[in-house]
Amino acid sequence: MSYDRRFATTWQLLLDSICTLMGLDANREPPIVLSSLPDLPYQRSGREGAAPLSFIQGPPGRNIALAIGLRAAKPNTPLVLIMSADSITLGTNHLIHAARRNIGMTLLLLRAEVTAAAAVDSMDRAGWDMPAYQRELETASRPLEWASALGASFVARADLEDPDQLAHLLHRAIDTPGFSVIGVTAGAQLQMGVLSENAWPEYFDAYREWTKPLLRLAVAGSQARAAPARSPTHVVPRFEVRIAGLGGHGVKLAGTVLSEAAGFHEGLWATQRGDYGSATRGGPSVVDVVMSSDPITYPAADHPDALIVLSQGAANRFAKDLKPGARVIIDPAEVSSLPAGAIAVPITALAREHTGKPIAAGIVSLGCVAALTDAVSLESLSRSMAAHVPRAIAEKNRAACAAGYAATRAAITGGVHV
Amino acid sequence: MHGNEAAAEGAIAAGCRFYAGYPITPSTEIAEILSGRLPEVGGVFIQMEDEIASMAAIIGASLGGLKSATATSGPGFSLMQENLGFAVASEIPCVVINVQRVGPSTGLPTKAAQGDVMQARWGTHGDHPIIVLVPSSVQEAYVLTVRAFNLAEKFRTPVIVLMDAIVAQLKEKVELPDTPQVVNRPLPAESPEAYKPFAFTEGGVAPLAPFGREYRYHVTGLLHDEHGFPTEDAEVVSRWWRHMTSKIDAHLDEILQWEEALLDDAEIALVAYGGTARAAAHAVTLARAQGTRAGLFKPLTIWPFPEKAMRELAGRVERIIVPEMNLGQIRLEVERLAGGRAAVEGVNRADGLAITPEQILAAIMKVSRLAA
């Protein structure tokens, strides 16, 4: 393979310039070069063994995104990207976001006339490697203007006919923290030199500053994470609970409180699965909790031992396929057609009475569950709530839970079935 | 603990210190949790412009010396395939967590599926080795994520943790090891002059030297020689292939993991993975209660597939049932390995609903009657 004269010259020039940089300052980290342009000139010079440069030949257009990760890992290493037209067409999205965040790297954008034999007067006004008709039809890509508008630290244009200026600008770009771009042309009649400079902080420097307090927090809080494992206090065969209502009933929170009460405070195995739909309020919302003193295989309550129904839709959908002997508790205010054998507990009314809010319906439901099984006690529910309910309203929620328990006990012993 | 949370904590425990991603349901919690946890441990979190960039960024960070990961779901996993191939070809360790939802395309965003099993194996173009792990519980989501980082470092390859929304969105109790075993990147023994970053060692890999200071080398997605320089020399390329395939094939004992339950006397074996394995385990209990000798084979490593174990299984059971939340992707593999010695059939659905123990039980009873 032979190189176009100007292509080879460009490579040699750029790499010489970068190597000079490496030689100039022994304290400086040597740069890493990224490019998807084909083969390196130095490989053809007969040199075997180690590469003189660290070089990444990433997929065309993706080197900017690759350099972002590299920058996070190596804060002090100059990253120099040598890119041509394909990098702009395939990698524009990456260029925009790296420039906008001012992530530290230096881009050398080789205009088409640098890498291809065809000399075109000014690619700034035309497209990149486009056929003539396309240049007539389309607006030009203006990557230097984009980078500048997005807040890149340093934007400049250099020409191969003045290699000293190119080397000078490259060194300045590398020394400027943040995102730098140099457009490289060949014999173009354009304004050369620095086009714009901004004083934005480099992204990962800013990130490290911002996260310093979090680092201290982690050191202080590292002991708090381990919770002692408890063995089961009593034998509980698999017990399935399904609580079904609408978004706004606090169903998901109820599932969390119940599964953690069983898992952490009763020493049982417990699973929680939900289908909360995409609506946060008003849409169907259901949570399944399975509790057992043995590890749980299937984590859904398809045939619940206890089904709590908080909406007509939930009654229609779930009040079937129950386990023999299962208990169904419905809120008569929400459900008009009641399944046979269901126990009526005014769940949302109790929620309003004790907390003023229907969202505590889920918590009241947990009191109902505690009345139906000895898998969880009011005590463990209360301890679990402490981790999930704001302290200011914890007492009200405990009262709501206890009210659900009492109403269910009364209904069972009084035989108030519908 | 929540399945996605377990994966995030597993990543931290394994030493992951860089995450780049674009949040997508049902994997979002992984990004959400790591955005808080990584800075706590001195790591870096960045939300990228898309999944193409996310995959590129974790490759860059890994090359820079940080253990790195991303998480996504089907649509993002499709976008990652280009750079995933680059990581395979240039042997850069990294971990991709794909929480599957129903596809193709945008599919059913919040609903569980296992439709990306073949994509995880063959999603990027060209022949290539890959390791794919499949957790079926929250505990396994943690343990296998740690393992994914370890295997990635050990074999210098991307490793995919293929979850499904059942496991990812499940909360259950876990018992986590205080300090999991972690594999860290070794330093090369050779001097920078003698170091071959892509050495063709039969059944092994060269240590990945810290990039960019004393050790300078060329990293490329073009097929390359042991120094990393591109080559079109067929002899070198065939040596490259031997290296790439043998680095996995020579270590199957270490890479492959599966679990067996009640298979010793079984006539019918269920082969199930991920969230579906939970329903299968329950179905085995139900079938046994009715006097049918069923058992469960649960792969934890799904690629490479445990071929030898599957051939043996096909020799000792009469029938194999493969329940999956797809239209039969692993069933094809099981059929191929059974080679007609055991009859294979699937229980399949890809409508967003989980396969229930009753569905599997019905299939067990049907084939059990056929056998009798």
Report pLDDT digits (tens) over B38-56.
Answer: 999 999 999 999 999 999 9
Q: CB distance B18–A52 less than 8 Å?
A: no
How does residue B151 score in pLDDT terms, banded at 50, 70 and 90? very high
Interface touch B63/A56, C-beta < 8 Å? yes
Pair (B156, B276) in one structural domain: no
Among B145, B168, B191, where does a domain finish? B168
Query: For residue B42, what is the nearest residue in chain A, using CA coordinates?
Result: A215
The three-class DSSP label of residue A374 is coil
A388 touches chain B (CB under 8 A): no
Q: In what order do the strands lie in the sheet with B319-324?
A: B258-261, B294-299, B268-271, B319-324, B343-348
What pLDDT score was predicted for residue B354?
Answer: 94
Judged by DSSP in three states, A125 sits in coil
Tell me: do B285 and B159 sit in the same domain: no
Q: Is the per-residue pLDDT at B1 higher than 80? A: yes
Q: Which helix (H) or strand (E) holds B345?
A: strand B343-348
A30 contact B CB<8A: yes
pLDDT at A188 over 60: yes
**B202 within a domain of the structure (yes/no):** no
Asked whether residue B52 is domain-assigned, the answer is: yes
A96 contact B CB<8A? yes
Domain end (from B123, B150, B168):
B168
Residues of A in contact with B6 (CB under 8 A): none
| CB–CB contact B61 A59 (8 Å) | no
**Distance of alpha carbon B22 from the chain centroid:** 20
Domain termination site, one of B168, B192, B217:
B168
Question: Does B46 contact chain A (CB < 8 Å)?
Answer: yes
Interatomic CA distance for residues A242 and B210, integer angstroms: 53
- Put simply, whether B92 touches A (Cβ < 8 Å) is no
Per DSSP, chain A holds a count of helices (H) and strands (E) of: 15, 13
User: Is B363 within the bounds of a domain?
Assistant: yes
More confident residue, A195 or A234: A195
B91-139 tens-digit pLDDT:
999 999 999 999 999 999 989 999 999 999 999 999 999 999 999 999 9
List all residues of chain B from 115 to 174 with a beta carbon under 8 Å from chain A: 166, 169-173
Same domain, B164 and B263: no
pLDDT band at A19 (very low <50, low <70, confident <90, very high): low
pTM of the entire structure?
0.92
Chain A residue whose CA is closest to B275 = A298
Question: Which residues, including other chains, have CB under 8 Å from residue B66's CB and lie 6 or more apart?
Answer: A69, A72, A73, B17, B18, B43, B44
The one-letter amino acid code at A78 reads: P
B24 and B161 both lie in a single domain: yes
Q: What's the order of all strands across the beta sheet hosting A269-275?
A: A343-344, A327-330, A306-309, A239-246, A284-292, A269-275, B171-172
Mean pLDDT of A142-171: 88
* B261 contact A CB<8A: no
Mean pLDDT of chain A: 83
Cα distances (Å, whole numbers) of residue B321 to B264, B355, B363:
16, 13, 8
What number is the average pLDDT over the span B320-345? 98
Which of B137, B198, B129 lies closest to B159, judged by CA? B129
**Which chain A residue has the Cα nearest residue B218?**
A55
Q: Is B32 among the domain residues?
A: yes
Q: What is the pLDDT of residue A44?
A: 45
Q: What is the C-alpha to C-alpha distance for residues B46 and A100, in angstroms, rounded to an integer?
A: 14
Q: Å from A44 to nearest chain B CA? A: 11
Does A116 reach chain B within 8 Å, measured CB to CB?
Answer: no
Would residue B97 count as lying in a domain?
yes
Do residues B141 and B275 share a domain?
no
| d(CA B193, nearest CA chain A) in Å | 6
pLDDT of A5 over the 60 cut: no
Mean pLDDT, rounded, for B14-22: 98
Based on the fold, state whether residues B142 and B279 are members of the same structural domain: no
Q: Between A53, A73, A272, which is nearest B216 by CB?
A: A53
The answer to the question of residue B11 being in a domain is yes
Query: For position A24, what pLDDT does the model report?
Result: 52
Q: Are residues B163 and B263 in the same domain?
A: no
Q: What total number of domains does chain B contain?
A: 2
List all residues 6 or more positions away from B249 whose beta carbon is below 8 Å from its beta carbon.
B203, B304
- Smallest Cα distance from A97 to chain B, Å: 7
Say yes or no: B162 and B276 in one domain.
no
pLDDT score of A417 more than 60: no
Residue among A51, A72, A256 whose CB faces B44 most closely: A72
Same domain, B41 and B161: yes
Asked if the C-beta of B177 comes within 8 angstroms of chain A's C-beta atoms, the answer is no
List the CATH number of the domain containing B91.
Answer: 3.40.50.970
Closest partner residue to B40 among A32, A217, A259, by Cβ?
A: A217
Q: CA-based angle A41:A45:A50, to the nearest 5?
A: 85
Please tell me whether residues B159 and B297 are part of one structural domain: no
User: For B156-274, where are the alpha helices, taking DSSP H only?
Assistant: 165-168, 234-249, 252-255
Q: Quick one: pLDDT at residue A120?
A: 44
A256 interaction partners in chain B (CB closer than 8 Å) = 171
Domain containing B44: what range? 3-168
Please name each of the domains of chain A with its CATH number. Answer: 5-210 (3.40.50.970), 239-414 (3.40.920.10)
A-B C-beta contacts closer than 8 Å = 207
Report the pLDDT averaged over residues A171-187.
Answer: 89
Q: Tell me, yes or no, whether B188 lies in a domain.
A: no
Alpha helices in chain B (DSSP H): 3-14, 28-40, 51-63, 74-89, 117-122, 138-155, 165-168, 234-249, 252-255, 275-289, 307-316, 329-338, 357-371
Q: Are B273 and B157 found together in one domain?
A: no
Contacts of B246 (CB under 8 A, 6+ apart): B202, B203
- For residue B287, the domain's CATH number is 3.40.50.920
- Chain A residues in contact with B60 (beta carbon < 8 A): 56, 65-73
Which of B215, B216, B278 to mutate to probe the A interface, most A CBs <10 Å? Answer: B216
**How far apart are the two ends of chain B, measured CA to CA in Å?**
44
Are the C-beta atoms of A359 and A248 separated by less than 8 Å?
A: yes
Residue B175 falls inside a structural domain: no
Q: Where residue A123 falls among pLDDT bands split at 50, 70, 90?
A: very low
Handedness of CA B198, B76, B112, B103 (dihedral sign): negative
pLDDT value at A291 more than 60: yes
The pLDDT tens digits for A57-78 are: 999 889 999 999 999 999 999 9
Q: Is the pLDDT of residue A17 over 80?
A: no
Same domain (yes/no): B17, B162: yes
In the prediction, which pLDDT does A91 show? 87
| AA letter at B130 | I
pLDDT at B221 over 90: yes
Tokens (6 digits) for B221: 């997605």
Residue A230: pLDDT band by 50, 70, 90 thresholds?
A: low
Residue B18 to chain A, least CA–CA distance (Å): 8
